[in-house]
Amino acid sequence: NSVDFIRNFSIIAHIDHGKSTLADRLLEFTGVIPESAKNAQVLDKLQVERERGITVKAQTATLFHMYKDQEYMLNLIDTPGHVDFHYEVSRSLSATQGVILLVDATQGVQAQTVANFYLAFEANLAIIPVLNKIDLKTSKTEQVIEELNTMFDIEPEEVLQISAKLGIGIDKLLEAVIQKIPPPPCDVEKPFKALLFDSWFDKYQGAVANIAVKDGSLKKGDEIVSAYTQKRHPVMELGFMHPLPTKTNALYAGQVGYIVANMRNTKEALIGDTLYKVKSPVEPFPGFRAPKPMVFAGVFPADQGEYFNLKVAIERLILNDSSIELNVDSSDVLGQGWRLGFLGILHMEVFNQRLEQEYDANIIITSPSVPYRVKIFGEKNIKMYGTDEIMVLNPSKLPNPAIISEVLEPMVQGTVITPSEYRKDITTLCQDKRGHLEEEIHIGEDRILMKFILPLNEIVLDFFDKLKAISSGYASFDYEDHGYQQSQVTKVTFNLNDHEVEELSMLVHTSKAVQEAKEMCVKLRDNVPRQLFLIAVQARIGGQVVARENIKPMKKDVTAKCYGGDITRRKKLLKNQAEKLKKMRKIGKITVPKETFINILKR
């Protein structure tokens, strides 16, 4: 039976532990790519790779390997590489029967190692523990093997040792993949059923999907149905990733490949979806979930003249990333823009970076916020809103507190792994962030794992940076969804000389409202340019002033008369002045330049 010679597997690792390097080495070793210059990271450099989704990925590939006179088909299924993509990783893993758990021997087990291990463990996958970077003098092989034993019950003799960079131990590793990972359970006689575990956008072909065929077979011309969208799609092309798309005539049960099926964009090819053939519906794979953005931010062109270019750039990036939610937004100060929803804070940062690097976009991204669930009471009010619970993504959309019965905020479970000496400072940081310690375990000499329950709102701003700073870069962090919890949320508004500045309104936890109000007043005092008169800066909560600052008037402008004489110079100055004014916002009698808002609102 040919399925006996198929293995579907993934590499899971903490960032920088060597996943891409190992993927390259496996491809090289099995002859998919020619032997590259040392450490060249061939896959990461492919054009198709750059055009893919938001994460920089090692990419799924089919390898062929001879073992004991038998050729095996090894499907290396890629998983996205960072914390915001737990769901996507779990879907990719469900297309496999086993994983290589790769741990940097100089670093030991880190937060994402733990998160990924449990995803694989809970999915009942075969786990091949592997230490990488054993060529380095600083590797602590013994210690890390012990950590793996303490934390995951992995027997020391099971642990393989490799250097992905130098290609040491790769043959043994391939042998382990063949021996320890079972062939996919599947049935070619049953109706066609496949898991869609990845997709990307191609200019000419639309969405291209990676699928793992569970049962049956698929050939060109067949018509398939998405269990989620219920849309029909004719299969125009199919094949293997080798590592570039390589056409074949059919895909059979147990195999992994790509399909081009007239899907217009990645929203028609959602990760975790089940595909079947028209007239032969099947029970969908469990665990599908539509993308659920949790972090929202306003994105505006720094210059409104760039609006259309930015629109095109954002739309292109979104074609490739079905998890981003896009809504138009506008502000008196920042002009026309969008409110974008991301899976998490890193997802947002990567998107931002890609806009800047790949599209040369000059953007303003406002402070991120999280979705609150707001419950409303009173029959009349419920009727008016058409529901008794609304999602609030934007401070300006918060209903009058008088009709709110309860506010719930999103929570996460965060895992920190750190040298024990930073334990106290990390605990203090998490308490400052309204978190509480749930669990603490020693995982070896001088290293601990701490689990905190934290509000997502508190980690979207500067949590990562603070954690890194406190621990001199040694602490690693990973988090996952932990549902919603009741919360006390307060809306703070700001006035300049009694005129409200809507852009500045914010939703904060009640316990921090006054403190944050004060901080913002100081920021305004230091950023709003002085005028000829005094400006009162006020923060209010429910009409009450909770903080205030004064911006002193400036002295009479004595430089004004210096400009006399040269008429062209005078004209130029007037023109500059007019252009500047266009970028100003009038609040009462006060004109505030856009730069001021940018300084205050940006992250």
285-316: b (≥16 Cβ within 10 Å) or e: beebeebebbbbbbbbbbebebeeebeebbeb
CA angle at residue 247 from 36 to 35, to 5 degrees? 10
x/- site string to Mg ion, residues 155 to 184, per CB under 5 A?
A: ------------------------------
Q: Which of residues 525-544 bind ligand GDP (CB under 6 A)?
A: none
Identify what 277 binds: ligand GDP, Mg ion, none; CB under 5 to 8 Å per kind: none
Q: Which two three-digit tokens encode residue 151?
A: 């934390």
Q: Which of 8, 10, 20, 415 binds ligand GDP (CB under 6 A)?
A: 20
User: Any contact of residue 369 with Mg ion (CB under 5 A)?
Assistant: no
Q: Which of 165, 451, 466, 509 binds ligand GDP (CB under 6 A)?
A: 165
Q: Which of 95, 148, 164, 181 binds ligand GDP (CB under 6 A)?
A: 164
Identify what 573 binds: ligand GDP, Mg ion, none; CB under 5 to 8 Å per kind: none
User: Any contact of residue 52 with ligand GDP (CB under 6 A)?
Assistant: no
CA–CA gap between residue 36 and residue 243 (Å, rounded): 14
198: number of CA atoms within 13 Å, CB side? Answer: 29
When the beta carbons of 62 and 79 are compared against ligand GDP, the nearer one is 79
Q: Rounded to the nearest whole angstrom, what is the least distance from the CB of residue 147 to Mg ion in the complex?
A: 22
User: Any contact of residue 90 with Mg ion (CB under 5 A)?
Assistant: no
Identify what 16 binds: Mg ion, ligand GDP, none; CB under 5 to 8 Å per kind: ligand GDP
Give every strand in the sheet of 295-301, ordered side by side.
Answer: 325-331, 335-342, 295-301, 363-365
Hey, which residues does 239 pair with through a beta bridge?
247, 258
Q: Which amino acid is at 366?
A: T
When the beta carbons of 107 and 418 are compared against ligand GDP, the nearer one is 107
User: Any contact of residue 21 with ligand GDP (CB under 6 A)?
Assistant: yes
Closest CA to 368 of 498, 506, 524, 465: 506
Give the list of residues 6+ apart from residue 548 with CB closer than 8 angstroms, or none. Answer: 521, 536, 537, 538, 539
When the beta carbons of 17 and 447 are compared against ligand GDP, the nearer one is 17
Q: Which of 15, 46, 178, 302 binds ligand GDP (CB under 6 A)?
A: 15
Closest CA to 398 of 386, 410, 390, 409: 390
Q: Which two three-digit tokens encode residue 513?
A: 């409202």
User: Any contact of residue 90 with ligand GDP (CB under 6 A)?
Assistant: no
Considering only 14-22, 92-100, 504-512, 592-600, which stretch makes contact with Mg ion by CB under 5 A? Answer: 14-22
User: Any contact of residue 142 with ligand GDP (CB under 6 A)?
Assistant: no
Region for residue 39 given its phi and psi (left: phi exceeds 0; alpha: psi -120 to 50; beta: otherwise): left
Count interface residues toward ligand GDP (CB under 6 A): 16
- Rg (C-alpha) for the chain, rounded Å, is 28
Q: Can you state the angle between helices 111-122 and 86-93, rounded to 10 degrees?
A: 40
Q: Rounded to the nearest whole angstrom, what is the least distance from the CB of residue 15 to ligand GDP in the complex?
A: 5
CA angle at residue 428 from 424 to 434, to 5 degrees? 145
Q: What is the 3-state secondary structure (H, E, C) of 505-571?
A: CEEEEHHHHHHHHHHHHHHHHHHCCCCCCCEEEEEEECCEEEEEEEECCCCCCCCHHHHCCCHHHHH
Q: Rounded to the nearest whole angstrom, what is the least distance from the CB of residue 88 to ligand GDP in the complex?
A: 16
When the beta carbons of 141 and 591 are compared against ligand GDP, the nearer one is 141
When the beta carbons of 40 and 514 are compared against ligand GDP, the nearer one is 40
Q: Which of residues 96-135 bind ligand GDP (CB under 6 A)?
A: 132-133, 135
User: Any contact of residue 40 with ligand GDP (CB under 6 A)?
Assistant: no
User: Any contact of residue 28 with ligand GDP (CB under 6 A)?
Assistant: no
User: Any contact of residue 347 with ligand GDP (CB under 6 A)?
Assistant: no
Q: Which of 18, 216, 291, 455 binds ligand GDP (CB under 6 A)?
A: 18
Considering only 18-26, 153-161, 236-244, 258-266, which stretch makes contact with Mg ion by CB under 5 A? Answer: 18-26
Identify what 244 binds: Mg ion, ligand GDP, none; CB under 5 to 8 Å per kind: none
When the beta carbons of 55 and 538 are compared against ligand GDP, the nearer one is 55
Q: Rounded to the nearest whole angstrom, what is the least distance from the CB of residue 59 to ligand GDP in the complex?
A: 11
**Helix residue ranges, H only, 187-322:** 307-319
Identify what 35 binds: Mg ion, ligand GDP, none; CB under 5 to 8 Å per kind: none
Q: Can you state the angle between helices 513-527 and 594-601, rounded to 10 degrees?
A: 150
Q: Which two three-digit tokens encode residue 460?
A: 């979207």
Burial class of residue 434 (count of CB atoms within 10 Å of its CB; 0-12, 13-18, 19+): middle
Q: Rounded to the nearest whole angstrom, what is the least distance from the CB of residue 162 to ligand GDP in the complex?
A: 7
Considering only 118-126, 149-157, 162-170, 385-393, which stretch makes contact with ligand GDP by CB under 6 A? Answer: 162-170
Q: How many CB atoms lie within 10 A of CB 390?
A: 17
Closest CA to 492 of 475, 513, 477, 466: 513
User: Any contact of residue 57 with ligand GDP (CB under 6 A)?
Assistant: no
Q: Which residues bind ligand GDP (CB under 6 A)?
A: 13, 15-21, 39, 132-133, 135-136, 163-165
Residues in contact with Mg ion by CB under 5 A are 20
